[in-house]
Amino acid sequence: MNKPELISVEDLFKSPVRAGAAISPDGTRVAYLAPWQDRLNIWVASLDGDFGADARRVTADETRSILHFSWTDDPRWLLYLQDTGGDENWHIFRVDLDNPDTPAVDLTPFPGVMSAFELLPDKPGKALVYSNKRGPTQMDAYELDIASGDLTMVGENPGDVIGWLTSRRGDLFATKLNREGDLEVLQWDPRAQSLRSIAHYDGKDYTMGMYPMVVTPDGTGIWMGSNEGTDRTRLVRLDVADGKQYAVDSHPTFDVDTRAQVWPGLPEPLIQSRATGELLGVRYLGERQVIQALDPHFADVLAGLEKLSDGDIGALSSDIKGRKWIVSFNHDREPGVTFLYDHETGESRELYRPYPHLDPEQLAPMLPVTIPSRDGLDLPSYLTLPVGVPPENLPLVLVVHGGPWARDGWMYAPAVQLLANRGYAVLQVNFRGSAGYGKAFQKAAIGQFAGKMHDDLIDGVNWAVEQGYADPDRVAIFGGSYGGYATLVGVTFTPDVFAAAIDYVGISDLSNFMRTLPEIARPHLANNWHLFVGNPDDPEQLADMLARSPITKVDQIRTPLLVVQGANDVRVVQAESDNLVEALRDRGVEVEYMVKEDEGHGFVNPDNVIDMFNAVDRFLARHLGKRRNA
């Protein structure tokens, strides 16, 4: 086909017209996100007649887009989370649907405090709230009366609990990490006001995929991912009484899809009955998603849902009877198309497309490819080629995912589509250490920051050149968080490979990064960053970390560089970017630097996202070349 029309940054990155739909328990209404004052807010509409015709906006946040909300069992109340400028100190707000014009109520109005919640379906009107209002590392458990807002402590952190889990009826469990990173799962005894140990796991295996997921409805077990004794992460039931694991489900070649553990907002791996909490299905992820149904009725529902789209099933919600379902689909070119499906009648209808102005035929398909590493590992990757252009000798952008214990997958990515629309080939390499490819693949990254992890990225570039897709003189690297670190490694350790580089909230100094993490995140260091990279309190390990840190090699940078940072980032603090930019400017090296004062670890508000990607667009056009008909 001919080259597609140039798509503006604004059209690719503006807010969806609707997104995130979830059906009410009684199946009569849908809550969803839609723009107001250029910020995503919550709207509610009935499912009768023309969808959206009677929609009412029920929140009024002009400052920051809302991303996370939930129906409660009472049709009067909705709950949602919101932080301040990306600081990740989440507050829990209550919306009164009987009086939607009244302001939302902050149920956790504690400054500098992080809160989260789980509904308690078997205790109507209640939710369990996790909050560190007693101190930064003291995450306690409280029962919330949703209507009154009263909080009652039900589990006091003895000092080393890093997280809580609850059943539908309020059975309480906790997790601990020791200094070596070993994981302990415990049960809270409300009479003794103390914790009883259930199971203990070696930290090195816990890092590779062993983590608690969901308490079973009866409170006698915990469904969790486990790779104990295997390479792949499967689903097991940890028995509360005997502390043993019992097999529930597995896939012969895929891991349980754990992306939601790293990127909140992605679908949870377990699909459960809204009425009972029983397990209906499990999500696995390879090149594409596979859902395995564990319930015969849900298997029939799943078959009906899968007929609606050739995408992967994303967000999924049902009414309390399991009759009406709202489903959205992940797709590389038709993002988030959302349907209503009535399993009783077999009828379905499209509710909305989040980006109706985008023509899927003008967007570029994402192709799974496997790239061999120089030491024999298979690197699962994704290649996106511009539409209407011969796939030969193209400028290439290597896009590196964050984490690094995350992964790229088959999905719609507006940044990738922007690059492809501008005539660039886009390569996303799941380098060693990426999650979802087995324990051995992840362990292969231990000690390999700025080493074999980076070699994998360079092997990807070389593969694209050898296949004829990429022009070796026009290769850029672009990544966020760990991907930003990888970008900076690229321009310091292998500066001759890249013609341009974009560092988005990236780490420049591994030791400073670890030392400036929030206190609540520090217990997690032992079985990830300390295991894979080192402990900055050990002089020998510190020296190695500095040798792997781009800040110590800024004299090697000669690649044009764009740095983007959120001022409120609590994970990769602004000093990581400030120090790098200052060191470069002291040497007389030109570097573009964008800081947004109202953002954190990744931009949320549409105006900031659009501003950033307009800068990215200009920067790459200047250094890789514009599309010929642009």
Q: What is the CATH number for 447?
A: 3.40.50.1820
Q: From 610, 496, 470, select the one nearest 14 (Cα to Cα).
A: 610
Dihedral of the CA atoms 243, 248, 251, 256 (nearest 10)?
-60
- Return the half-sphere exposure (C-beta side, CA atoms, 13 A cut-off) of residue 421: 22
Percent of the chain beyond pLDDT 90? 89
Q: What is the pLDDT of residue 202?
A: 86
Are the beta carbons of 74 and 82 closer than 8 angstroms? no
Q: What is the pLDDT of residue 49?
A: 84
Query: Is 481 a catalytic site residue?
Result: yes
Whether 337 is covered by a domain: the verdict is: no
Whether 533 is covered by a domain: the verdict is: no
Amino acid in position 482: Y
Range of lowest pLDDT (52-66, 125-139, 262-276): 262-276
Q: From 266, 263, 332, 329, select the one nearest 480 (Cα to Cα).
A: 263
Whether 287 is covered by a domain: the verdict is: no
Q: What is the pLDDT of residue 180?
A: 81
Whether 299 is covered by a domain: the verdict is: no
Spatial distance between the Cα atoms of 440 and 623, rounded to a whole number of angstroms: 38
Spatial distance between the Cα atoms of 182 and 251, rounded to a whole number of angstroms: 26
Q: What is the pLDDT of residue 36?
A: 97
Whether 59 is covered by a domain: the verdict is: no
pLDDT in tens, 11-56: 999 999 999 999 999 999 999 999 999 999 999 999 988 898 999 9
Which tokens belong to 518? Answer: 């929030």
Longest CA–CA span in the chain (Å) reads 73
Spatial distance between the Cα atoms of 579 and 575, rounded to a whole number of angstroms: 6
Q: What is the mean pLDDT of residues 295-312?
A: 97
Are the beta carbons of 69 and 32 closer than 8 angstroms? no
Active-site position among 481, 508, 549, 577? 481
Reported as a pLDDT band with limits 50, 70 and 90, residue 208 is: low
Range of lowest pLDDT (164-173, 520-529, 530-539): 520-529
Spatial distance between the Cα atoms of 154 and 531, rounded to a whole number of angstroms: 34
CB atoms within 10 A of CB 339: 18
Spatial distance between the Cα atoms of 360 and 309, rounded to a whole number of angstroms: 14
Spatial distance between the Cα atoms of 408 and 343, rounded to a whole number of angstroms: 33
Amino acid in position 127: A
Q: What is the pLDDT of residue 264?
A: 67
> What mean pLDDT is reported for the chain?
95
Q: What is the 3-state secondary structure (H, E, C) of 350-397?
A: EEECCCCCCCHHHCCCEEEEEEECCCCCEEEEEEECCCCCCCCCEEEE
Which tokens belong to 394? Answer: 């193209």
Reported as a pLDDT band with limits 50, 70 and 90, residue 626 is: confident
Predicted confidence (pLDDT) at residue 542 exceeds the cutoff of 60: yes
Q: Which neighbouring-strand residues pair with 71?
A: 78
Kindly state the helix (H) or strand (E) to which residue 280 belongs, with its residue range.
Answer: strand 279-285
Predicted confidence (pLDDT) at residue 606 exceeds the cutoff of 70: yes
Domain span at residue 400 reads: 379-519+554-624
Predicted confidence (pLDDT) at residue 258 exceeds the cutoff of 90: no
Q: What's the structural domain count of the chain?
A: 1
Q: What is the pLDDT of residue 146?
A: 98
Which tokens belong to 248? Answer: 């529930």
Q: What is the pLDDT of residue 629?
A: 52
Q: What is the 3-state secondary structure (H, E, C) of 71-108?
A: ECCCCCEEEEEECCCCCCCCEEEEEECCCCCCCCEECC
Reported as a pLDDT band with limits 50, 70 and 90, residue 207 is: low
Query: Judging by beta carbons within 10 Å of its beta carbon (0-12, 13-18, 19+), is residue 58 exposed, middle or buried?
Result: buried
Specify the DSSP class assigned to residue 600. Answer: B
Q: What is the pLDDT of residue 213?
A: 84
Predicted confidence (pLDDT) at residue 294 exceeds the cutoff of 70: yes
Whether 482 is covered by a domain: the verdict is: yes
Which tokens belong to 353? Answer: 């497309």
Amino acid in position 142: Y
Q: What is the pLDDT of residue 630?
A: 43
Whether 162 is covered by a domain: the verdict is: no
Q: What is the pLDDT of residue 192?
A: 95
Collapse the DSSP code of 330 into the 3-class scheme (helix H, G, I; strand E, B; otherwise coil) and give the result: strand
Tokens 């997104």 sit at which residue?
A: 19
Tokens 């890092």 sit at which residue?
A: 207
Reported as a pLDDT band with limits 50, 70 and 90, residue 139 is: very high
Active-site position among 454, 569, 577, 623? 569
Q: What is the mean pLDDT of residues 317-335?
A: 96
Kindly state the helix (H) or strand (E) to which residue 161 belongs, with its residue range.
Answer: strand 161-166
Spatial distance between the Cα atoms of 163 and 175, rounded to a whole number of angstroms: 5
pLDDT in tens, 81-122: 999 999 999 999 999 999 989 999 999 999 999 999 999 999
Whether 442 is covered by a domain: the verdict is: yes
Q: In what order do the strands lie in the sheet with 561-566?
A: 366-372, 378-384, 425-429, 394-400, 470-480, 500-504, 561-566, 592-596
Contacts of 63 (CB under 8 A, 6+ apart): 39, 85, 598
pLDDT in tens, 461-513: 999 999 999 999 999 999 999 999 999 999 999 999 999 999 999 999 999 99
Active-site position among 91, 343, 454, 601? 601
Predicted confidence (pLDDT) at residue 263 exceeds the cutoff of 80: no
Predicted confidence (pLDDT) at residue 253 exceeds the cutoff of 90: yes
Q: What is the pLDDT of residue 438?
A: 92
Which tokens belong to 592? Answer: 């573009």
pLDDT in tens, 560-581: 999 999 999 999 999 999 999 9
Range of lowest pLDDT (1-10, 59-68, 115-124): 1-10
Q: What is the mean pLDDT of residues 545-570?
A: 97
